[in-house]
Amino acid sequence: MPRTVLILEYDGPRFNGFQKQKSAKEITVQEKLEAVISRILREEITLVAAGRTDSGVHAKGMVVSFSSSNSIPNYHKFLVSVNGLVGGSVSALAGREMPEKFHARFSCTEREYEYKILNSKTPHPLLSERALWFKNKIDFDRLQKEAETLHGKHDFAGFTKKSVLETYNSTERQITKIEVKRDEELKNLFKIVIRGTGFLHNMVRIIVGTLLDIARGRLTSNILDILKTHDRTHAGITLPPYGLYFLRAYYRDYPEVNQLYSEIYQTSEQA
Protein backbone atom coordinates (compact mmCIF):
# COMPACT_ATOMS: atom_id res chain seq x y z
CA MET A 1 0.00 0.00 0.00
CA PRO A 2 1.27 3.51 -0.78
CA ARG A 3 2.74 5.31 2.24
CA THR A 4 2.50 9.09 2.64
CA VAL A 5 4.49 11.37 4.93
CA LEU A 6 3.33 14.84 6.00
CA ILE A 7 5.04 17.55 8.03
CA LEU A 8 2.64 19.43 10.29
CA GLU A 9 2.57 22.68 12.19
CA TYR A 10 -0.09 23.20 14.84
CA ASP A 11 -1.15 25.51 17.64
CA GLY A 12 -0.98 23.39 20.80
CA PRO A 13 -3.49 25.16 23.07
CA ARG A 14 -6.22 24.63 20.47
CA PHE A 15 -6.03 20.85 20.86
CA ASN A 16 -6.09 18.22 23.57
CA GLY A 17 -2.71 16.90 22.46
CA PHE A 18 -1.88 14.97 19.31
CA GLN A 19 -3.14 11.46 20.01
CA LYS A 20 -6.86 10.78 19.90
CA GLN A 21 -8.43 9.58 23.12
CA LYS A 22 -11.73 7.78 23.66
CA SER A 23 -12.60 9.72 26.81
CA ALA A 24 -11.48 13.18 25.71
CA LYS A 25 -14.12 15.85 25.19
CA GLU A 26 -11.80 18.25 23.35
CA ILE A 27 -10.57 17.41 19.86
CA THR A 28 -7.01 16.20 19.20
CA VAL A 29 -4.77 16.88 16.21
CA GLN A 30 -4.93 13.24 15.14
CA GLU A 31 -8.71 12.93 15.04
CA LYS A 32 -9.11 16.32 13.33
CA LEU A 33 -6.64 15.46 10.58
CA GLU A 34 -7.74 11.84 10.17
CA ALA A 35 -11.31 12.97 9.57
CA VAL A 36 -10.24 15.43 6.88
CA ILE A 37 -7.86 13.07 5.05
CA SER A 38 -10.36 10.21 5.20
CA ARG A 39 -12.95 12.50 3.65
CA ILE A 40 -10.60 13.56 0.83
CA LEU A 41 -9.35 10.05 0.02
CA ARG A 42 -12.76 8.43 0.65
CA GLU A 43 -11.31 5.73 2.88
CA GLU A 44 -10.54 5.35 6.55
CA ILE A 45 -7.09 6.72 7.36
CA THR A 46 -5.01 6.17 10.51
CA LEU A 47 -2.15 8.56 11.25
CA VAL A 48 1.09 7.64 12.99
CA ALA A 49 3.18 10.48 14.46
CA ALA A 50 6.89 10.82 15.24
CA GLY A 51 5.94 11.96 18.75
CA ARG A 52 2.91 12.29 21.00
CA THR A 53 2.68 15.89 22.14
CA ASP A 54 0.63 16.64 25.26
CA SER A 55 -2.26 19.06 25.41
CA GLY A 56 -1.00 22.60 24.84
CA VAL A 57 2.33 21.65 23.22
CA HIS A 58 3.00 23.24 19.83
CA ALA A 59 4.60 21.67 16.75
CA LYS A 60 6.64 23.38 14.05
CA GLY A 61 7.60 20.19 12.22
CA MET A 62 5.71 17.11 13.39
CA VAL A 63 6.07 14.14 11.04
CA VAL A 64 3.09 11.87 10.44
CA SER A 65 2.62 8.96 8.07
CA PHE A 66 -0.31 6.94 6.81
CA SER A 67 -1.13 4.20 4.30
CA SER A 68 -3.83 4.43 1.65
CA SER A 69 -5.28 2.15 -0.99
CA ASN A 70 -4.21 4.42 -3.84
CA SER A 71 -1.32 6.79 -4.48
CA ILE A 72 -1.85 10.53 -4.25
CA PRO A 73 -1.18 11.84 -7.80
CA ASN A 74 -0.64 15.52 -6.92
CA TYR A 75 0.64 16.44 -3.46
CA HIS A 76 0.26 20.17 -3.99
CA LYS A 77 -3.46 19.81 -4.63
CA PHE A 78 -3.75 17.32 -1.79
CA LEU A 79 -2.15 19.75 0.70
CA VAL A 80 -4.39 22.57 -0.51
CA SER A 81 -7.44 20.37 0.06
CA VAL A 82 -6.29 19.25 3.52
CA ASN A 83 -5.50 22.78 4.71
CA GLY A 84 -8.73 24.13 3.26
CA LEU A 85 -10.78 21.68 5.32
CA VAL A 86 -8.78 21.26 8.52
CA GLY A 87 -8.88 24.88 9.70
CA GLY A 88 -6.18 27.34 10.71
CA SER A 89 -4.98 25.72 13.94
CA VAL A 90 -3.15 22.94 12.11
CA SER A 91 -1.48 22.93 8.71
CA ALA A 92 0.15 20.31 6.51
CA LEU A 93 3.29 22.13 5.33
CA ALA A 94 4.72 19.47 3.03
CA GLY A 95 4.16 15.90 1.91
CA ARG A 96 5.31 13.14 -0.40
CA GLU A 97 5.09 9.42 -1.04
CA MET A 98 7.52 7.21 0.87
CA PRO A 99 8.67 3.58 0.75
CA GLU A 100 6.08 1.24 2.23
CA LYS A 101 8.34 0.28 5.16
CA PHE A 102 8.63 3.91 6.35
CA HIS A 103 7.01 4.54 9.74
CA ALA A 104 6.88 8.05 11.26
CA ARG A 105 7.53 6.75 14.77
CA PHE A 106 9.62 3.59 14.45
CA SER A 107 11.85 4.87 11.62
CA CYS A 108 12.66 8.01 13.61
CA THR A 109 16.20 8.08 15.03
CA GLU A 110 16.12 11.42 16.91
CA ARG A 111 13.63 14.11 17.94
CA GLU A 112 14.22 17.78 18.66
CA TYR A 113 12.29 20.16 20.91
CA GLU A 114 12.63 23.75 22.03
CA TYR A 115 11.26 25.59 25.04
CA LYS A 116 10.76 29.36 24.86
CA ILE A 117 11.15 31.58 27.92
CA LEU A 118 10.42 35.30 28.26
CA ASN A 119 12.56 36.49 31.18
CA SER A 120 11.23 39.99 31.85
CA LYS A 121 9.48 42.07 34.51
CA THR A 122 6.52 42.68 32.22
CA PRO A 123 4.53 40.27 30.04
CA HIS A 124 4.33 40.49 26.25
CA PRO A 125 0.72 39.81 25.17
CA LEU A 126 1.76 38.66 21.70
CA LEU A 127 3.77 35.85 23.32
CA SER A 128 0.84 34.64 25.41
CA GLU A 129 0.57 30.84 25.09
CA ARG A 130 3.74 30.99 22.96
CA ALA A 131 6.42 31.34 25.65
CA LEU A 132 6.72 31.01 29.41
CA TRP A 133 6.75 34.37 31.19
CA PHE A 134 9.41 33.95 33.88
CA LYS A 135 9.82 37.02 36.12
CA ASN A 136 12.60 35.76 38.40
CA LYS A 137 16.13 37.00 37.81
CA ILE A 138 18.34 34.23 36.44
CA ASP A 139 22.07 33.67 36.05
CA PHE A 140 22.21 33.19 32.27
CA ASP A 141 25.82 31.97 32.25
CA ARG A 142 25.00 29.35 34.91
CA LEU A 143 21.99 28.28 32.86
CA GLN A 144 24.14 27.71 29.78
CA LYS A 145 26.86 25.82 31.66
CA GLU A 146 24.37 23.53 33.43
CA ALA A 147 22.61 22.78 30.15
CA GLU A 148 25.87 21.80 28.44
CA THR A 149 26.55 19.11 31.06
CA LEU A 150 23.49 17.14 29.85
CA HIS A 151 25.17 16.03 26.63
CA GLY A 152 25.43 12.25 26.46
CA LYS A 153 23.58 9.32 28.02
CA HIS A 154 21.93 9.65 31.43
CA ASP A 155 19.28 7.96 33.54
CA PHE A 156 16.31 10.36 33.63
CA ALA A 157 14.17 8.38 36.10
CA GLY A 158 13.80 11.52 38.25
CA PHE A 159 12.72 13.62 35.28
CA THR A 160 9.35 12.08 34.53
CA LYS A 161 6.09 11.37 36.37
CA LYS A 162 6.42 8.72 39.06
CA SER A 163 3.13 7.23 37.89
CA VAL A 164 4.57 6.28 34.48
CA LEU A 165 7.97 4.90 35.57
CA GLU A 166 6.79 1.30 35.39
CA THR A 167 5.78 1.71 31.75
CA TYR A 168 9.41 2.09 30.64
CA ASN A 169 11.83 -0.78 30.08
CA SER A 170 14.66 1.70 30.63
CA THR A 171 14.82 5.35 31.69
CA GLU A 172 18.22 5.94 30.09
CA ARG A 173 18.13 8.47 27.26
CA GLN A 174 20.84 10.11 25.17
CA ILE A 175 20.95 13.87 24.61
CA THR A 176 22.81 14.60 21.37
CA LYS A 177 22.36 18.37 21.39
CA ILE A 178 21.35 21.00 23.95
CA GLU A 179 21.87 24.72 23.62
CA VAL A 180 20.53 27.98 25.02
CA LYS A 181 19.89 30.70 22.44
CA ARG A 182 18.84 34.32 22.84
CA ASP A 183 16.28 35.70 20.41
CA GLU A 184 17.78 37.98 17.76
CA GLU A 185 15.03 40.62 18.07
CA LEU A 186 13.77 40.50 21.68
CA LYS A 187 16.69 40.39 24.12
CA ASN A 188 14.65 39.01 27.04
CA LEU A 189 13.37 36.06 25.02
CA PHE A 190 15.45 32.91 24.80
CA LYS A 191 14.96 29.25 23.98
CA ILE A 192 16.47 25.97 25.09
CA VAL A 193 16.82 23.47 22.24
CA ILE A 194 17.12 19.77 23.11
CA ARG A 195 17.71 16.92 20.66
CA GLY A 196 17.92 13.27 21.63
CA THR A 197 17.28 9.66 20.72
CA GLY A 198 14.21 9.51 22.95
CA PHE A 199 12.34 11.30 25.72
CA LEU A 200 10.31 10.26 28.75
CA HIS A 201 6.92 11.78 29.50
CA ASN A 202 7.35 15.45 30.56
CA MET A 203 11.14 15.03 30.42
CA VAL A 204 11.88 18.21 28.44
CA ARG A 205 9.57 20.36 30.58
CA ILE A 206 11.19 19.04 33.77
CA ILE A 207 14.73 19.48 32.41
CA VAL A 208 14.05 23.12 31.54
CA GLY A 209 12.20 23.69 34.82
CA THR A 210 15.18 22.29 36.73
CA LEU A 211 17.64 24.44 34.78
CA LEU A 212 15.60 27.55 35.56
CA ASP A 213 15.35 26.63 39.26
CA ILE A 214 19.13 26.25 39.39
CA ALA A 215 19.74 29.49 37.47
CA ARG A 216 17.52 31.50 39.83
CA GLY A 217 19.02 29.94 42.97
CA ARG A 218 16.01 27.91 44.07
CA LEU A 219 18.02 24.68 43.73
CA THR A 220 21.61 24.59 45.02
CA SER A 221 22.62 21.24 43.49
CA ASN A 222 23.85 20.99 39.91
CA ILE A 223 21.74 19.13 37.39
CA LEU A 224 24.04 16.10 37.11
CA ASP A 225 23.86 15.52 40.88
CA ILE A 226 20.07 15.82 40.71
CA LEU A 227 20.00 13.25 37.90
CA LYS A 228 21.96 10.76 40.02
CA THR A 229 19.28 10.77 42.74
CA HIS A 230 16.72 9.20 40.32
CA ASP A 231 14.15 10.99 42.49
CA ARG A 232 11.52 13.33 41.02
CA THR A 233 11.30 15.32 44.25
CA HIS A 234 14.89 16.53 43.82
CA ALA A 235 14.32 17.99 40.35
CA GLY A 236 12.70 21.30 39.49
CA ILE A 237 9.19 22.26 38.46
CA THR A 238 7.33 20.82 35.48
CA LEU A 239 6.86 23.82 33.22
CA PRO A 240 3.53 24.45 31.45
CA PRO A 241 3.11 22.97 27.96
CA TYR A 242 2.53 26.16 25.94
CA GLY A 243 6.24 27.10 25.91
CA LEU A 244 7.23 23.75 24.36
CA TYR A 245 7.55 23.11 20.63
CA PHE A 246 8.19 19.88 18.73
CA LEU A 247 10.73 21.15 16.19
CA ARG A 248 11.51 18.18 13.98
CA ALA A 249 12.18 14.47 13.69
CA TYR A 250 15.30 12.94 12.17
CA TYR A 251 15.46 9.86 9.94
CA ARG A 252 18.90 8.43 9.30
CA ASP A 253 17.73 6.10 6.53
CA TYR A 254 15.24 8.46 4.88
CA PRO A 255 16.89 11.62 3.51
CA GLU A 256 13.62 12.35 1.68
CA VAL A 257 12.09 13.56 4.95
CA ASN A 258 15.07 15.76 5.74
CA GLN A 259 14.70 17.24 2.24
CA LEU A 260 11.09 18.16 3.02
CA TYR A 261 12.27 20.07 6.09
CA SER A 262 14.85 21.93 4.03
CA GLU A 263 12.11 22.97 1.60
CA ILE A 264 10.13 24.51 4.49
CA TYR A 265 12.85 25.94 6.73
CA GLN A 266 16.45 27.09 6.45
CA THR A 267 17.73 23.89 7.99
CA SER A 268 20.32 21.21 7.43
CA GLU A 269 19.34 18.05 5.56
CA GLN A 270 21.69 15.91 7.64
CA ALA A 271 20.13 13.47 10.11
Give the residue numbers marked as catalytic.
54
**Strand pairing partners for 177?**
195
Which of 16-47 are b and which e, b meaning 16 or more Cβ less than 10 Å from the residue's Cβ? bbbbbeeeeeeebbbbbbbebbbebbeeebeb
H helices of the chain, in order, are 29-41, 75-86, 140-148, 203-215, 223-229, 255-264
Residue 195 burial (CB count, 10 A):
19
**What does the DSSP 8-state code read for residue 186?**
-
Give the span between the Cα atoms of 42 and 40, in whole angstroms. 6
Grouping H, G, I as helix, E, B as strand and the rest as coil, residue 252 is: coil
Instruction: Give the angle subtended at the CA of 15 by the CAs of 12 and 17, to the nearest 5°.
Output: 75
Confirm if 172 and 95 have CB atoms less than 8 A apart.
no
Sign (positive or negative) of CA dihedral 138, 140, 141, 145: positive
